[in-house]
Amino acid sequence: MRKEDMILVSVDDHIVEPPDMFKNHLSRKYIDEAPRLVHNPDGSDCWQFRDVVIPNVALNAVAGRPKEEYGLEPQGLDEIRPGCYNVDERVKDMNAGGILGSMCFPSFPGFAGRLFATEDAEFSLALVQAYNDWHVEEWCGAYPARFIPMTLPVIWDPVACAAEIRRNAARGVHSLTFTENPAAMGYPSFHDFEHWKPMWDALVDTDTVLNVHIGSSGRLAITAPDAPMDVMITLQPMNIVQAAADLLWSRPIKEYKDLKIALSEGGTGWIPYFLERADRTYEMHSTWTGQDFKGKKPSEVFRDHFLTCFISDHVGVQLRNDVGIDNICWEADYPHSDSMWPGAPEQLDEVLREHNVPDDEINKMTYQNAMRWYHWDPFTHIAKDRANIGALRKAAEGHDVSIQALSKHDHGASDPNAALKAATASQR
């Protein structure tokens, strides 16, 4: 397949929320109490909610910046591309990167919306619903052919969470962001079946995918407080392995044949060995541990329930059939530092060609699996011949994608682990 003819849908990108996101969606009763973006005297910006301050408004939003600035976390909106927080500019960046569709994870509330948990249940729910309404109606609704809608959970209340899943499914949302380790956030683990049962029921009833994103509990993989940043970055995909094991061996996987879970930003190269180990564990130990997959191997059950994704994963693409070709999607991770934007098509094409991936398998991984898993059809809004890399880039002619040094503020660069500390704090 020619690179220009590929259709790319990313199942893992990120939003830097705009300052006015609550304006149209939160009642007057709560608007003065809502999180707000504060512009500081030094020109930096931060989100503030009650006593919580999230200093890195644009955590890791380094798309379009030179690699020399990757360790300098953006502190203000003037240090990032407008496409991070402006939906019109995001679509221009997507066109320039040859990307048709995108599913966008939140930033300042945390991947599971933990920030919105307060002692006032009504206020907390209002914040989650306001965020979800903004995301569905304003961000995704502005360009329905370009975004897969995904909503925040009511993580502190499984019954309210189930109701919110159903509310959003009624308007075509089949994706829920969640934590990879609820126990690390002070909630019951995935193994507490009865606690989470209302949520599992709602997910299955509405065919909604549970997206567990790496680092979403605030527990990033690192060996020691003084370890180099390279350790954490190397281990980032490994953060999802524990979640995969927890969920694969959990009761919901056995109780719900249609439950769907995505391992977001976790890579794929590790999965064949993980499945081999799970099968051996089952063979050697299930007699005394009491595990029962009703005649199937854990590896087969995994392919019934789990979606995985990769950015540029040579090993994962080489072993794609050991993972399951129907269980793999592509991701861009815009605007984070692992993103290949705007050169994603070139790097992806290199990987696919190296491993002689046939056209039908390319199509599954680059867009068809995402459409099927998330019940999302962009071609009801855009002609297919206008959706490929070549056509999108032609539409983006003249859009500036040059690499620009944008760092303007004091980033505390003397602390090499400052970004890790900020990331952990923001997701807890």
How much is the pLDDT for 399? Answer: 97
Strands of the sheet with 52-54, listed across from one edge? 36-39, 45-49, 52-54
Place of tokens 């509330």: 109
How much is the pLDDT for 416? Answer: 43
The domains of the chain are located at: 3-427
Structure token digits, residue 234: 């190397």
**How big is the CA angle at 333 (ends 241 and 6), to the nearest 5 degrees?**
110
Grouping H, G, I as helix, E, B as strand and the rest as coil, residue 181 is coil
How much is the pLDDT for 253? Answer: 97
Question: Rounded to two decimals, what is the model's pTM?
Answer: 0.94
DSSP notation for 339-391: --TTSHHHHHHHHHHHTT--HHHHHIIIIIHHHHHHT--GGGTS-GGGSSHHH
How much is the pLDDT for 216? Answer: 85
How many Cα atoms occupy the beta-carbon half-sphere of 15 within 13 Å? 31
DSSP conformational letter for 151 = B
Structure token digits, residue 144: 């329905």
The architecture that CATH gives domain 3-427 is Alpha-Beta Barrel (3.20)
Strand partners, 48: 36, 53
Cα 183 to Cα 373: distance, rounded to the nearest angstrom: 27
Q: Are strands 99-105 and 8-14 parallel, antiparallel or unpaired?
A: parallel
How much is the pLDDT for 106? Answer: 96
How much is the pLDDT for 220? Answer: 67
pLDDT tens, residue order, the chain (428 aa)? 999 999 999 999 999 999 999 999 999 999 999 999 999 998 889 999 999 998 877 768 899 988 888 876 778 899 999 999 999 999 999 999 999 999 999 999 999 999 999 999 999 999 999 999 999 999 999 999 999 999 999 999 999 999 999 999 999 999 999 999 999 999 999 999 999 999 999 999 999 999 999 888 876 666 788 888 888 888 877 779 999 999 999 999 999 999 999 999 999 999 999 999 999 999 999 999 999 999 999 999 999 999 999 999 999 999 999 999 999 999 999 999 899 999 999 999 999 999 999 999 999 999 999 999 999 999 999 999 999 999 999 999 999 999 998 887 665 544 444 544 454 444 44
Q: Is the dihedral of CA 365, 366, 371, 373 positive or negative?
A: positive
Phi, psi of 223 (to 5 degrees): -85, -35
Residue 391 CA from chain centroid, whole number: 26
How much is the pLDDT for 67? Answer: 87
Query: Residue 412: which residues within 8 A CB-CB, separation 6 or more?
Result: 418
How much is the pLDDT for 406? Answer: 83
